[in-house]
Structure 1
């Protein structure tokens, strides 16, 4: 079993991570960035595991077009059992029901499986076991602010003692609020499972998927949806913390927060599939940030509840993924200066000013709220920052930040035109033109024959590939083509692309950044190397794990996945590249 042979379940409130043997590896309560009560992914003892006597084989997959995860275990004597895992999500009384609850159903397929269940949640980031209090058909776990109940029709004595028993009929577990259920656990489980299945199948049917790679795109879209904290509209970069970019790298970060750039990319990808609900939720989240900033500095990352203080601390009780620490909670990036965020704020909500499908489309008041963001972008576009890759001790004028500042002004001009505000259209167009000229003058290096990572620099950075995607330059521009070719020969290894290859705060990167690989695929297609782009896309799809998910990084030599999981950037890449590369529906109908 590889370290990231993992599936995820969730419902927009919480999310769980389960390995291919059916064991819980990660679950935070009461929300994505909460206390990890199941923490075995990072070496802790918080577990919800199942053991089968004489296990012969295992397999895992999602029920078609849903977030319901099914793990099949088969023993040497022919006994077969399915573990069905999900978090309930369905429409009820005019709203979406999405409690902080997970459900596990153990379904006997054949024979009489002999199993053992281990249920040992922890608190204090692996510091201590949660106290267990037995009920007739439930176990209560309490410790300070953490309190939940596991209700089951399995023998409670066997579960509490970790005793093996023969599974003669289906049993279910519901982990949720510390309160009694309204019906028996088996009735509720089957009802919630079917209603959750219907919700996701209906949602998937509403997606405007490309003709090719439909299964891959639908799985990516569902995964992105599971990373949206629906209460506020914040979108986490990943559901985990401290999975390193490569072994021993110490590049172990907490990604359970909302980076504005990641959220922008996620929203744009789901918009491309006509999943408009996420845009509406995200608009609320962004408007709160814009109002909170009052025209000043905007952080690159906030908590999913708009928390601005994300103090980074070590969790010494957890040894880390494959014993590769440190384990961090919180993220210092909240304190960074990253100028690209101003462009991503505007880009993230720009479509909403043009889309007639929205129930409450924004207008002039919302445009006025965004203008201070543009003013800030113009003021800082040629000043040093930490850049898109969040260097901790390095500050330069980064090209990727400057082009995003241009995007803020450019999109404000377009929005003003849409709203009939002619004077503001001209105002923002003039500022966009100034930034555009500055970038062309200072980021293009004629000796390197490429746009470089920083103004006046020589090093390459894959983030400049986004120039064509956001419309800064046409893909036919000779300078863009030359930049793509330079990155292809310098940052590409096989079918994988590095962010950069220069040393940073932690030395030279040793793994490729999968989002950059997707950006490069798109760039190759745009400059006319379509066949090569398709071949590269198929190659990166082959690095997905057994249920179609990707983490942040990949080792080009081995194809092994590293980094936090599942990474929204990567799922966005699948959607965007598939939409760009796919044959049109009209080619077959």
Structure 2
């Protein structure tokens, strides 16, 4: 049966990722790159679609999991009652190869164990060809790629079941399983020692975490979220994926199932903002270099999302052989949102460059040239309708959130030019910035409520409008801002969490609350002086994390966490709120609290 989404934990090597369940089964793995076809797809189907399980071969009384402190090394303990206890340690070495290490240790008693490796290549479609030689057990796809399993145990191999073995773990005994993904023609490297790989992986994560400047009250939650964000980065290119999964539904049983294994400009920009705050400037430099290449390749026209190497995302298609998570069809790969017009992307990019400059990043004249090219696009198209932040696949509209970010692009560029003596057409920029502001305040207000509405065309509440005071478009005490907050509270705050907008239809169903939006409301409450309300909501949101501190895109009281998992946007919003709640205590040094875009612009 399908496990709940929150029963999974993340493994990763900064190139691809895997999800392992509480039952010891790795049900999702897409080597060698985040957006590669999965060879374990049970997450979106059944055992017929590929998995790798290592677990006790007997009833389990209790399962406890945790990541080793400040790492991405997962420890799962199975309590089998009188028979004993075992621990499975799962991790992916930080290496150019896609490699999963699983270490089984006997903690007490004598426990019968079972290991079964049953990959299905091409998102669960193709059964591998199995061979055995001196290198280990090879499971081949028809394109020449293979999975290579190394173990000291006498593993049984069949075409139908893959590789499997029964064994017993007694107190103090250890059995290691190492799985390599090898592209066509690539030989296995020299045999790796699991203990050495584990030590190196722990040291790498500890060294990375040691750079973090956050020392606030919520350090455990902040560090876990930062580690998750780092695990979603693609180190060779410098980009970051929105999530490592595809088609985990926004509403189980319906059709809003999307592929998130791409670099969304919006999500990456917001994540890099908090990485700057946390003293991770190397990640920012790598991403800005990636951005330069993308801007040059596209002549300043920015798509909503790109593949990890900055190319256009693949065509969207449906995998009709997969039944989907909780029968949520269709399962999709690729994402047609790549072709949408989203005006807010330009403002987010410019805001990141603005923040980077003020945080000490050494940006070049080329960066300013690229920024000006982005501004040219904003000046030319800010008045056009777009698909908006939520990527709705119906008619384009004049979304207020998008217009506000167009204003941000002009505002931040004007400030950069004036503060740093950068050449710019300031007279034109000032005029356009003022025109956008006036247009939003005239056409973006619902006259009945005196609050900002979702779009010029529709008087609906929208949680994205909570960004207005955080971006400095208007101060928090402006009556229109307070009316907007009140509208969100009244119509979108349910069961202690915030929905992004009002929507129910035969395609999307009734989706869950959008976790990031709930953090945005907490941010607005902090700015409004409602600190107790903000902290209570923050505590409520922390409690939604699963047992290893991970968050999906949405939450639904009926199903728990839903949507793609883990979600970068949810984790970066958590960190931002933690910083804001303690901003007066100067809990971070990577960026200066005084420069935060949360402060109203005068």
Give how far 1:78 is off.
3.5
Partners of 1:453 and 1:459 within 8 A in 2: yes
The answer to whether residue 350 in structure 2 is matched with residue 346 in structure 1 is yes
1:208-230 CA distance string (max 9 Å, x none): 22421110000000000001111
Q: Distance in 2 between matches of 1:50 and 1:341?
A: 43
Within 5 Å, give how 1:272-421 maps onto structure 2: 272-295=277-300, 297-356=301-360, 358=361, 361-421=362-422
Residue 382 of structure 1, CA deviation: 2.1
- Note the C-alpha offset of 1:167: 3.0
State TM-score, norm by structure 2. 0.91
Change (3 A) 1:163 1:199: closer
Q: Which residue of 1 aligns with 2:217?
A: 212
2: distance between equivalents of 1:381 and 1:508? 32
Distance 1:136 1:57 in 2: 38
CA separation of 1:426/1:419 partners in 2, compared to 1, >3 Å: closer, same or farther?
A: farther
Q: Distance in 1 between matches of 2:16 and 2:442?
A: 47
Q: Distance in 1 between matches of 2:305 and 2:127?
A: 32
Length, aligned pairs only: 572
Compared CA separation, residues 409 and 508, structure 1 to 2 (3 A): farther
CA distance in 1, matches of 2:215, 2:455: 36
d(CA) in 2 for partners of 1:277 and 1:233?
10
Alignment pair present for 1:562 and 2:567: no
| 1:126 pairs with 2:117 | no
Deviation at 1:113, TM superposition (A): 2.0
Query: How far apart in 1 are the matches of 2:238 and 2:506?
Result: 33
Matched ranges for 1:176-255 at <5 A: 176=180, 177=182, 179-183=187-191, 185=192, 188-255=193-260
- Where does residue 575 of structure 2 map in the other structure? 575
Contact 1:150 1:175 in 2 (8 A): yes
SS of the equivalent of 1:125 reads: helix
Is the Cα–Cα contact under 8 Å of residues 513 and 553 in structure 1 kept in the other structure? yes
Shift of 1:324: 2.2
What is the SS of the residue equivalent to 1:454? coil
Once the two structures are superposed, the pairs formed by residues 102-117 of structure 1 within 5 Å of their partners are: 102-117=100-115
Partner of 1:142: 140
Q: Tell me, in whole angstroms, the C-alpha distance in 2 between the residues paired with 1:60 and 1:365.
A: 47
Q: In structure 2, how many angstroms separate the alpha carbons of the residues matched to 1:424 and 1:200?
A: 46
- Could you tell which deviates more after superposition, 417-426 or 407-416? 417-426
Cα displacement (A) at 1:99: 2.8
Pairwise CA distance, 1:160: 5.3
2:267 equivalent among 262, 276, 280: 262
Q: Is 1:173 paired with 2:181? A: no
C-alpha spacing 1:367/1:3, structure 2 compared with 1 (3 Å): closer
CA contact (8 A) 1:21 1:71 kept: no
CA distance in 1, matches of 2:248, 2:503: 22
User: Offset at 1:190?
Assistant: 0.9
Instruction: Determine the structure 2 residue equivalent to 1:9.
Output: 11
Shift of 1:43: 1.1
Measured against aligned partners, the alpha-carbon deviations of 1:427-483 in whole angstroms (never above 9, x if no partner) come to 433322221121111112231221111125311111011112222112122211111
Note the C-alpha offset of 1:145: 4.7
- Could you say what secondary structure the match of 1:112 adopts? strand
Could you tell which deviates more after superposition, 426-435 or 340-349? 426-435
* Structure 1: distance between partners of 2:220 and 2:37: 33
For residues 62-77 of structure 1, the aligned pairs below 5 Å read 62-77=67-82
Rounded Cα–Cα distance in structure 2 between residues aligned with 1:290 and 1:546: 40
